Amino acid sequence: MDPPNRDVAALSAVFFSGQRAGMMLALGVAQVATADLPEESWMLRQQADDSLFRKVMPVVFALNVLNLSPAIATSEKRGNRSFGAAGAFSIGAIADTMLVNVPLTVTMSAWKAGAALPLSAAGMRG
């Protein structure tokens, strides 16, 4: 079997890394844009997003790491360091997601939208 074409491997790795970065940027913008929604609407939106992300994000992360592997293997010294760093950051993002974000979303998925108590009912001073 012929070794992977260096240019195709590099272009594919850059494309999937850019795709993941764009998705993360869009998620951040959506979080800011919906921060002022009423609690019930925000929770329903968050739970719908989580349902979609559970299907999409493992594929996106896997494609990202799998596409970096041939790019690292076929690139020259300078590119090898760049793609290696991208791979390390991708693995770090996956670890962060699995250790921090997934437990939070699992907890939030059990919440009932509209069940939060107003601050005055919870004995808080506002």
Q: What pLDDT is stored for residue 49 in this prediction?
A: 87
Q: What pLDDT is stored for residue 33 in this prediction?
A: 92
The HSE-up count of residue 56 (CA atoms within 13 Å, CB side) is: 10
Q: Average pLDDT of each block of 10 consecutive residues along the chain (126 residues)?
A: 66 83 87 89 87 86 82 77 84 89 85 66 51
Is the CB of residue 48 less than 8 Å from the CB of residue 67? no
Dihedral, CA of residue 109, residue 115, residue 120 and residue 125, to nearest 10: 0
- Burial (CB count <10 Å: 0-12, 13-18, 19+), residue 17: buried
Distance between CA atoms of residues 48 and 43, nearest Å? 9
Return the number of other C-beta atoms located less than 10 Å from residue 83's C-beta. 24
Is the CB of residue 39 less than 8 Å from the CB of residue 115? no
For the whole prediction, is pTM greater than 0.75? no
